[in-house]
Amino acid sequence: MTTPTSTLRRQNVLSLFQEFVEQSIAAGGSPKGLEAAFAEKLEVSRATWSMAKSGERPIGDKLARQFEDRCGQPSGWLDEERAPKGMSQAEQQFVALALKTYRETNSDGRKKLRQVLKTWSTDAA
């Protein structure tokens, strides 16, 4: 199954943002203001970055090339599928919730949880 370009671009720019955050904090920077600093690096408004990050605004060709250029990536980099480097905060929260639910229920509850996830996965495909 091929991932839509809009999804790839969003995932990849989020990866660039995560890298930016990690580098900034490793260099002794404060975690506050990193959203604004990244928007500044991309040369877009904070609102544009926020909407692109959340998926409210698709990242079109012009914006994709701008983001790549400002982050030192070759043209087309955002359009390539790549393995994620780690789990996002939302993914970590989901896994923690699923694990907590799994651990706190009995055998029947675990079976139901697995079945829901299998059904959901099949329906989404």
pLDDT in tens, 72-108: 999 999 999 887 666 666 777 888 888 888 889 999 9
Q: Which of 57, 54, 76 is nearest to 65 (CA)?
A: 76
87-88-89-94 Cα dihedral, nearest 10 degrees: -60
Higher per-residue confidence, 61 vs 122: 61
Query: CB 57: neighbour CB atoms within 10 A?
Result: 16
C-alpha–C-alpha distance, residues 53 and 17, integer Å: 9
pLDDT in tens, 17-50: 988 998 888 888 888 899 999 999 999 999 999 9
Domain spans, the chain:
5-82, 90-124
At the topology level, CATH places domain 5-82 in 434 Repressor (Amino-terminal Domain) (1.10.260)
